[in-house]
Amino acid sequence: MHFFTSVFILLFLVGCNDSDSQTQQTLKLSPPQNNQIYFGAFPDFGGTEENVTAKKIQNFEKIAQKKLVWACFSNNWWHGITYPKQEIHTIADQGIIPYVRLMPRSDAIESHPEPKYTLQKIIDGVFDNELKQWAQDAKEDNIAIIADFALEMNGDWFPWSGIFNGGATTDGYGDPTLADGPERYRDAYRHIVTLFREVGANNITWFFHYNYTTLPYQEWNKPKNYYPGDKYIDWVGFSLYGAQNIHEPWEELLFSTTFNDYIDDFYEINTTNPIALLEFGVTDNHPDGNKSAWINDAFETILDNPYINFKAINPWHENWQNEDENYSTLRLDSSKEVEQTFQKWMANKRFISTK
Give the pLDDT confidence score for residue 26 in this predicted structure.
75
Span 221-226, average pLDDT: 98
Tell whether the model's pLDDT for residue 2 goes beyond 50. no
Tell whether the model's pLDDT for residue 186 goes beyond 90. yes
Give dist(CA 262, CA 224) in Å, integer. 13
User: What is the set of domains in the chain, with CATH numbers?
Assistant: 37-352 (3.20.20.80)
Angle between helices 291-303 and 336-346 in degrees, nearest 10: 10
Give the pLDDT confidence score for residue 21 in this predicted structure.
54
Given a contact cutoff of 8 angstroms between Cβ atoms, the answer to whether 232 and 193 are in contact is: yes
DSSP string, 296-328: HHHHHHHHS-SS--EEEE--B--EEE-TTS-EE
CA 83 from centre of chain: 17
Classify residue 338 by burial, with Cβ atoms within 10 Å: 0-12, 13-18, 19+. Answer: buried
Give the pLDDT confidence score for residue 23 in this predicted structure.
56
Q: What Rg, from alpha-carbon coordinates, does the chain have?
A: 21
Give dist(CA 180, CA 210) in Å, integer. 17
Span 306-320, average pLDDT: 98
pLDDT in tens, 319-337: 999 999 999 999 999 999 9
Span 109-138, average pLDDT: 97
Look at strands 327-329 and 319-321 and give their pairing: antiparallel
219 or 25: which carries more pLDDT confidence?
Answer: 219
Span 79-91, average pLDDT: 97
Give the pLDDT confidence score for residue 22 in this predicted structure.
54
pLDDT in tens, 227-249: 999 999 999 999 999 999 999 99
Taking residue 113's Cβ as centre, other Cβ atoms within 10 Å add up to 11
pLDDT confidence of 20, banded at 50, 70, 90?
A: low
pLDDT confidence of 7, banded at 50, 70, 90?
A: very low
Angle between helices 128-141 and 180-199 in degrees, nearest 10: 50
Tell whether the model's pLDDT for residue 129 goes beyond 70. yes
Given a contact cutoff of 8 angstroms between Cβ atoms, the answer to whether 38 and 235 are in contact is: no
Give the pLDDT confidence score for residue 6 in this predicted structure.
35
pLDDT in tens, 259-272: 999 999 999 999 99
3-state helix, strand, coil in the chain (%, to 5): 35, 15, 45
Q: How far is CA 7 from CA 2, 14, 20, 256, in A?
A: 9, 11, 20, 62
Position 301, amino acid: T
Span 49-66, average pLDDT: 98
Residue 307 CB contacts under 8 Å (≥ 6 apart), including other chains? 259, 263, 266, 267
Give the pLDDT confidence score for residue 12 in this predicted structure.
31
Span 50-60, average pLDDT: 98
SS3 state at 31: coil
The torsion angle over the Cα atoms of residues 209, 211, 212 and 215, rounded to 10 degrees, is -150
Torsion sign (Cα): 331, 275, 142, 68: positive
Span 158-178, average pLDDT: 98
Report percent pLDDT > 90 for the chain.
92
Tell whether the model's pLDDT for residue 278 goes beyond 80. yes
DSSP string, 156-214: SSSTTSGGGTTTT--SSSS-TTS-HHHHHHHHHHHHHHHHHHHHT-TTEEEEEEEESS-
pLDDT in tens, 196-206: 999 999 999 99
Tell whether the model's pLDDT for residue 121 goes beyond 90. yes
Q: 15: number of CA atoms within 13 Å, CB side?
A: 6
Smallest CA-to-CA distance from 243 within 235, 234, 251 is with: 251
